[in-house]
């Protein structure tokens, strides 16, 4: 009889621990393109106001953006300054920019993976997005090479206020997101 009580108590503790652990774990996933390394890349001019972006699907439920990540090789001696924009996107046009204050990042000289912490900005989104970087300065002759993947949705570029898709090759922008619970 004592063994039976110990067994039931042990099962109760295991169930309680499992429930508490499951509630404490946050559901984190990565959206966008797969991180790449290697020799496949695409270069873009650094002109103030121009943007480079990737279409991403955040899903139908709200998520918080945590971190933007991409690979790039900066051939310039100077760091390249950019800001992050996250737009609502219908496949052709952007609308609402979910970023309410400037999120500024830098690309150092040489080859690196850039990680921009988005979590302090509490950006909550759902649906289809265009996640982009916008150059804050012009650096003539500086054409950083972004890591790319083939047949992954392409890259979007905005040079004159209009988004144009560069098909076939997509820069490896991706964003770590946290699924949010919906209050019912």
Would you call 76 exposed, middle or buried from its count of C-beta atoms within 10 A (0-12, 13-18, 19+)?
middle
Identify the CA nearest to 43 among candidates 75, 14, 2: 75
Q: For the segment 36-58, what is each residue's pLDDT rounded down to a tens digit?
A: 877 788 999 999 999 999 999 99
Distances (CA, A) of 100 to 124, 138, 166, 184: 11, 24, 27, 27
Architecture, CATH, for domain 27-179: Sandwich (2.60)
pLDDT above 70 (res 81): yes
Question: Rounded distance, CA 168 to CA 117, Å?
Answer: 28
pTM equals 0.83
- The encoded tokens of residue 8 equal 């039931």
The pLDDT confidence band at residue 3, using thresholds 50, 70 and 90, is: low
In the chain, the percentage of residues whose pLDDT exceeds 70 is 85
């Amino acid at each position: 009889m004592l063994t039976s009580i110990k067994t039931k108590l042990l099962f109760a503790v295991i169930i309680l621990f499992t429930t508490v652990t499951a509630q404490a774990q946050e559901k984190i996933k990565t959206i966008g393109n797969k991180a790449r390394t290697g020799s496949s890349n695409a270069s873009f001019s650094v002109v103030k106001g121009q943007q480079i972006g990737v279409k991403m699907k955040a899903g139908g439920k709200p998520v918080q953006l945590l971190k933007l990540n991409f690979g790039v090789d900066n051939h310039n001696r100077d760091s390249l300054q950019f800001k992050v924009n996250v737009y609502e996107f219908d496949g052709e046009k952007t609308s609402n920019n979910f970023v309410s204050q400037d999120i500024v990042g830098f690309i150092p000289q040489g080859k690196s993976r850039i990680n921009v912490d988005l979590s302090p900005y509490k950006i909550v989104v759902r649906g289809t997005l265009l996640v982009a970087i916008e150059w804050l300065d012009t650096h003539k002759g500086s054409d950083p090479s972004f890591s790319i993947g083939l047949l992954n949705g392409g890259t979007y570029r905005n040079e004159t206020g209009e988004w144009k898709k560069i098909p076939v090759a997509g820069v490896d922008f991706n964003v770590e997101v946290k699924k949010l619970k919906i209050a019912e």
